[in-house]
Structures are given as C-alpha cells and as structure tokens.
Amino acid sequence: MSLPEQDPRAKTPPVAWSVALRGAVRGKAVAQTTTAALIVGSTLFMVNLYSQVREAPFTWALTARVALTFLVPWFNATMGIVIGLRKSDASPHRRPGPADRATLQESAPPSP
C-alpha cells in the first residue's frame, strides 16, 4: 500500500519563532545579514556620525550610537530572514530552485 501523494499547495502551519530564529543565525544567513549590516551601517555612519567621530571627543554615548548604527541594520536583516522562514513553504536549509518551480507549475490545474 503506497502513501497518498501530498498536495504541494496544501497549507501547513508556520514554523515556530524559535526554529526560524535558529535558522536565521546560522551559516549562510549570518553571512548575508552581516554583509547587509556592514554596507548599510557604513553608509549610515558616514552620513550621520563621521563628523562627530572626527571632531568631538569619543564618549560612551557616541560609542553606543556607532554600535547601534551597525546593530539595527543587522537586526532588521535577521528578522526579515526569520519572518521569511516562518512561511509554511520556506526551509532554513534549502531555497526552491527552478526545478521546484517547474514541478509546481506542472502539477497546478490548468487555468480557464
């Protein structure tokens, strides 16, 4: 007796927040979020804080502002990945490729 085929369009519940967060802070996702934070943070730093760092005394408040300039874009990028991983059809280990899309298109009913 064979198992019934599962409909690829069937809704499954979203992934738990903790599982999605673990997937977002490992491997390739960390490299992507760090790269985004460095690019965006550097741009924000140059626009908003560069003159203060050059001319003003380096205080703890300025240190905190510089740190937040890089941490906020990293957190934003990480949460974007977490929210994407929570979708029912997303996987933290594999992204759908062209072959997956072709399979889904072939199994879809014809449109009228």
The predicted-structure confidence for 11-62, as pLDDT tens digits, reads as follows 677 888 888 889 889 989 999 999 999 999 999 999 999 999 999 898 999 9
Residue 96: pLDDT band by 50, 70, 90 thresholds? Answer: low
Rg (CA), the chain: 21
Containing 75, the helix (H) or strand (E) segment is helix 60-86
pTM equals: 0.66
pLDDT at 87: 80
pLDDT of residue 88: 55
CB-CB contact of 42 with 52 (8 Å): no
Query: Whole-angstrom Cα distance, residue 36 to residue 5?
Result: 40
pLDDT higher than threshold 70 for residue 94: no
User: What residue type is assigned to position 71 of the chain?
Assistant: L
Q: Distances from the Cα of 110 to the Cαs of 80, 99, 103, in angstroms?
A: 34, 19, 14
Pick the more confident residue, 43 or 7: 43
pLDDT over 80 at 100, yes or no: no
